[in-house]
Amino acid sequence: MGVQNWTYILVGLTFSLYIGIAIWSRASSTKEFYVAGGGVSPWANGMATAADWMSAASFISMAGIISFAGYDGAVYLMGWTGGYVLLALLLAPYLRKFGKFTVPDFIGDRYYSNAARIVAVFCALLVSFTYVAGQMRGVGIVFSRFLEVNINTGVIIGMLIVLFYAVLGGMKGITYTQVAQYCVLIFAFMVPAIFISIQMTGNPIPQLGFGDQLADGSGTYLLDKLDGLSTELGFAEYTSGSKSMIDVFSITLALMVGTAGLPHVIVRFFTVKRVRDARKSAGIALLLIVVLYTTAPAVAVFARTNMIETVSNKPYAEVPEWFTKWETTGLISFTDKNNDGNIQYVADHKKNELIVDRDIMVLANPEIANLPNWVIALVAAGGLAAALSTAAGLLLVISSSVSHDLIKKVFNPMISEKGELIAARLSAVGAVCVAGYFGINPPGFVAAVVALAFGLAAASFFPAIILGIFYKRMNKEGAIAGMIVGISSMLLYMIKYKLGWFDDVLPDKSEWWFGISPEGFGTVAMVLNFAVSITIMKFTPPPPEEVQEIVENIRIPSGAEDAIIHKY
């Protein structure tokens, strides 16, 4: 059976599963729509959180980034996994005890201000729309390659599927759908990795295989071979790093605090029954995420080595079928500059004839390695599961920000629960349409969507949440000023140094502030947010006493209140 038929079967089965779960778990109240009724078990929430977090960026792009960046790509592994430690220790249990539906809801009530709520809603919408645009585009790419439909048609199909289970089920439907999506995506990522690890090194454990000797009996280690192939083509050694220490530190920290500040991740900890369940589900999510994240470097090495050996300096007339299939998507292209008919893949841009988009490395990896067709189709199903799970979580954040935080809390406090539920579902429909538009007509920053989204979350939400939990003197004036300065500085830096909108050409790296790349500037913007928040707070009135008491109470462990009362 061909790849396309296998893809139709596997994608059809997984989509049927998602739709069936959505019908079974449809939401009947606003609490079920926003936080799944607050009764999700730690294991289910941990799996859903892992799926929510491991987007198309993690499944499709991360190994691709590492395959081209080599050692420097480790910053993404450290930053994204480290963020869950911050979540488990500093945010999840306290936010759960506070008991609100959304991050803007927490900020609005903690800082006793609708102005703070509106600023938080703006930040949540900006982060979520930026992030979701890349997810929808990822859906379109998978559809266009494996189901051989137009990218725009693929985006529309993805929109309809997400719309169905997000609007019908809300957080309740999304949660249990994401549990299924985690199983699909992790199986789809690990199966080809194990196949190729055995094929190349004889070791069935990918995490060990990419550091092992080749199975050809030469005694050469796989990483040594890749270093040699890279230097022969003029690239730096794969295992060497080129980034400065301050940039590595800044990117890692920005990704960590960005993870801890992402609204669609944070909202997952409002869905469990107890405070301790929030901490437990964060730990479970981290363990489940590590399965993929420790495998990604191996997949990157396998894909990079196989790609170089398959196409570099080979006649274009003899390229394998996978090459021509991916050419139709525009994500890989060959230009015969010297008219010799051979593919010249070298580091020198003037001589290089092959352009490879890093996003194809995971998706094309099974094809390059000549794995069975069902494995190739399985990867397509996994990529769709990763993109759709995160898109659903982001769309719910957008929906709840509009219906709950703006309509219910600001413009129409007297709205009925039924009216709010209708508003939430209509907001979800609108959000899906906007997300689909950006997927079909991607803005210029889609290539930098991950860095931008994480930088914006780090610059806006993280300081406001941390100070709101651990500093009872923190007031609304400081929080509002800090969020505005943080997100504004991040946006301006990204626009100038990532997009070049203020210049005729993109500024050179030598112009970066302190040598920090746009991907790492979220750290600087976060520090600015902290500095402005605390400075403004010093010169403005303290919060009301009742707000300070709430802050004191959320830091008392569950059950301790009763013990204290009994003692005294």
Q: Where are the domains of the chain?
A: 3-554
3-class DSSP state of 342: strand
- Give the mean model confidence (pLDDT) for residues 198-216: 91
pLDDT tens digits for range 267-299: 787 788 877 887 788 888 888 988 998 999 999
pLDDT tens digits for range 444-468: 444 446 667 788 889 999 999 999 9
Q: Is the dihedral of CA 415, 40, 123, 541 positive or negative?
A: positive
Residue 207: CB atoms within 10 Å: 15
The pLDDT score that the predictor gives to residue 561 is: 47
Does the pLDDT of residue 218 top 80, yes or no?
yes
Does the pLDDT of residue 564 top 50, yes or no?
no
Q: Is the dihedral of CA 83, 520, 141, 329 positive or negative?
A: negative
Does the pLDDT of residue 3 top 50, yes or no?
yes
Residues 529 and 459: beta-carbon distance below 8 Å? yes
Secondary structure element (H or E) that encloses residue 454, with its range? helix 449-470
The pLDDT score that the predictor gives to residue 505 is: 60
The pLDDT score that the predictor gives to residue 166 is: 67
- Give the mean model confidence (pLDDT) for residues 361-370: 89
The pLDDT score that the predictor gives to residue 544 is: 92
Query: Which pTM value belongs to this model?
Result: 0.84
Unique residue bearing structure tokens 């094809």: 367
User: Model confidence at 562, in pLDDT bands (50, 70, 90)?
Assistant: very low
Residue 191: CB atoms within 10 Å: 18
DSSP codes joined into one string, 357-392:
-TTHHHHHHHHHTT--HHHHHHHHHHHHHHHHHHHH
- Give the mean model confidence (pLDDT) for residues 533-552: 92
Q: Which superfamily does CATH assign the domain made up of 3-554 to?
A: Sodium/glucose cotransporter (1.20.1730.10)
